[in-house]
């Protein structure tokens, strides 16, 4: 089954690019390497916001322009390392001109939308492409698609009705399953984010060391919008171990006594998680890679868009990794039970992909 993935491959975001690679790699093992690719679709709002020249429309326009100029070299460098990773690891399918779109429709049998927040209309500016209405000639699936929130409005509910035409539907969060089950008649499955489908060895085959950092010599801090309280907690954990803080950031905001990294490539990002002594994060994919590499980690849950992290930690019963207001909640964990729950979830993902393959077999038989 010649299959394309429709996702956020354009975003300069580690989770977005790495989940695209993970789903491609897993589907290649299910089908074959020459039958799977990532559709190089450019969602206008995502491409715009992740461009090095992007100027926010919020606030003072002059300040926004000056901020863009300040960070342009850094963002340009980040785009270069992301583009290099995608060129090496993603089988990108051209999808710009009418001729390319026609060739794609003729050559491919199926399309999979997901993972990531492809059904969060706030992020996509309600881009209809992610609801697959333009791909009716193909088998259509979703894998671990995320809505990114617990509640939707009437307009969004109307948009989600289009998903009833998909052949198989899976989402990443139980809350998304609950929402969709009230809107469409289809069976909706919950599956893990694609990054979990690759084991430690598969991720280490991709990982690339960052600079001269030594394994176990740092506490890794990975957060959106650097906050003082989470920084202090990471510094506390580093002091307990007699090591430094390494912070992966989008902007070059200095942290006293820490090494700030703004130009890591996605494969270096994987290495930084694998080799950290401890991880402090408020990122969903930061949490996911901490789980994969079985790190000691702490994830902030009292923040906007933390639904995904809360549900993940509850599902794996990793109560000892919960931070609220940058303080541990004091929960405990049965590590063997958590390991079993993670393995069970990974198998759930493989089982759904088998259902996708079965759906194509049924189509061929007809």
Report the distance separating Cα 137 and Cα 132, nearest Å: 10
Report the distance separating Cα 112 and Cα 248, nearest Å: 30
Cα 326 to Cα 9, 50, 148, 169, 235, distances in angstroms: 31, 28, 22, 36, 12
- Assess whether pLDDT exceeds 90 at residue 168: yes
Q: What is the pLDDT of residues 267-299, one digit of tens each?
A: 999 999 999 999 999 999 999 999 999 999 999
Give the mean pLDDT of 244-271: 92
pLDDT of residue 58: 85
- Greater pLDDT, 316 or 304: 316
Among 159, 183, 164, 202, residue whose Cα is nearest residue 26? 202
**What is the per-residue burial (b if ≥16 Cβ within 10 Å, else e) of 272-287?**
bbbbbbbbbbbbbbbb
pLDDT of residue 310: 87
- Assess whether pLDDT exceeds 50 at residue 366: no
DSSP state of 306: -
Q: Are 319 and 313 in contact (CB under 8 A)?
A: yes
pLDDT of residue 32: 81
DSSP state of 298: E
pLDDT of residue 303: 60
Compute how many other C-beta atoms are within 10 angstroms of the C-beta atom of residue 222: 27
Q: Are strands 258-261 and 322-324 parallel, antiparallel or unpaired?
A: unpaired
Among 214, 4, 30, residue whose Cα is nearest residue 91? 4
Q: What is the pLDDT of residues 2-55, one digit of tens each?
A: 999 999 999 999 999 999 999 999 999 988 878 999 999 999 999 999 899 999
Q: Are 251 and 75 in contact (CB under 8 A)?
A: no
Report the distance separating Cα 267 and Cα 323, nearest Å: 27
Among 200, 203, 189, 90, residue whose Cα is nearest residue 144? 189
- Assess whether pLDDT exceeds 60 at residue 362: no
Give the mean pLDDT of 178-192: 96
pLDDT of residue 305: 54
**pLDDT above 90: percentage of residues in the chain:** 77
Q: What is the pTM of this model?
A: 0.93
Compute how many other C-beta atoms are within 10 angstroms of the C-beta atom of residue 120: 18
pLDDT of residue 254: 86
- Assess whether pLDDT exceeds 70 at residue 321: yes
- Assess whether pLDDT exceeds 80 at residue 250: yes
pLDDT of residue 308: 83
Q: What is the pLDDT of residues 125-161, one digit of tens each?
A: 999 999 999 898 999 999 999 998 888 899 999 999 9
Q: Are 170 and 197 in contact (CB under 8 A)?
A: no
Among 34, 40, 2, 1, residue whose Cα is nearest residue 20? 40
One DSSP character per residue, 109-175 reads SEEEE-SSSTT-HHHHTS-GGGGTGGGTTSEEEESSB---SS---HHHHHHHGGGGG-SBEEESSHH
DSSP-derived 3-state class of residue 190: strand
pLDDT of residue 361: 54
Q: What is the pLDDT of residues 59-82, one digit of tens each?
A: 888 998 998 898 899 999 999 999
Q: Are 226 and 249 in contact (CB under 8 A)?
A: yes
Residue 127 CB-half CA count within 13 A: 20
When computed from its CA atoms, the radius of gyration of the chain, rounded to whole angstroms, is 20
């Amino acid at each position: 089954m010649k299959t394309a993935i429709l996702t956020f491959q354009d975003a300069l975001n580690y989770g977005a690019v790495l989940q695209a690679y993970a789903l491609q790699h897993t589907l290649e093992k299910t089908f074959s390497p020459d039958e799977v690719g990532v559709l190089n679709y450019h969602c206008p709002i995502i491409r715009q916001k992740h461009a090095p020249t992007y100027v926010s429309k919020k606030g003072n326009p002059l300040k926004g322009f000056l901020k863009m100029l300040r960070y342009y070299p850094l963002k340009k460098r980040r785009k270069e390392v992301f583009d290099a990773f995608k060129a090496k690891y993603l089988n990108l399918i051209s999808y710009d001109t009418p001729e390319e779109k026609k060739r794609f429709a003729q050559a491919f049998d199926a399309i999979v939308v997901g993972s990531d927040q492809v059904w969060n209309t706030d992020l996509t500016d309600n881009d209809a492409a992610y609801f697959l209405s333009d791909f009716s000639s193909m088998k259509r699936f979703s894998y671990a698609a995320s809505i990114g929130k617990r509640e939707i409005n009437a307009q969004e509910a109307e948009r989600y009705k289009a998903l009833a035409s998909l052949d198989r539907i899976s989402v990443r969060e139980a809350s998304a399953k609950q929402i969709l089950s009230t809107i469409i008649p289809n069976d909706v499955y919950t599956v893990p984010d694609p990054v979990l489908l690759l084991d430690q060895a598969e991720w280490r085959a991709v990982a690339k060391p960052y600079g001269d950092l030594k394994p176990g010599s740092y506490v890794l801090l990975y957060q959106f919008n650097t906050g003082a309280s989470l920084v202090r907690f990471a510094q506390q954990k580093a002091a307990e171990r007699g090591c430094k803080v390494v912070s992966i950031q989008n902007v070059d905001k200095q942290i006293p006594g820490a090494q700030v990294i703004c130009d890591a490539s996605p494969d270096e990002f994987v290495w930084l998680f694998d080799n950290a002594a401890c991880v402090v994060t408020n990122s969903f994919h930061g949490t996911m890679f901490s789980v994969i590499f079985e790190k000691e980690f702490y994830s902030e849950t009292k923040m906007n868009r933390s639904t995904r992290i809360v549900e993940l930690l509850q599902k794996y019963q990793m109560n000892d990794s919960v931070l609220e207001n940058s303080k541990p909640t004091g929960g405990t964990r049965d590590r063997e039970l958590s390991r079993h729950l993670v393995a069970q979830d990974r198998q759930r993902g493989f089982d759904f992909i088998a259902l996708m393959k079965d759906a194509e077999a049924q189509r061929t038989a007809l």
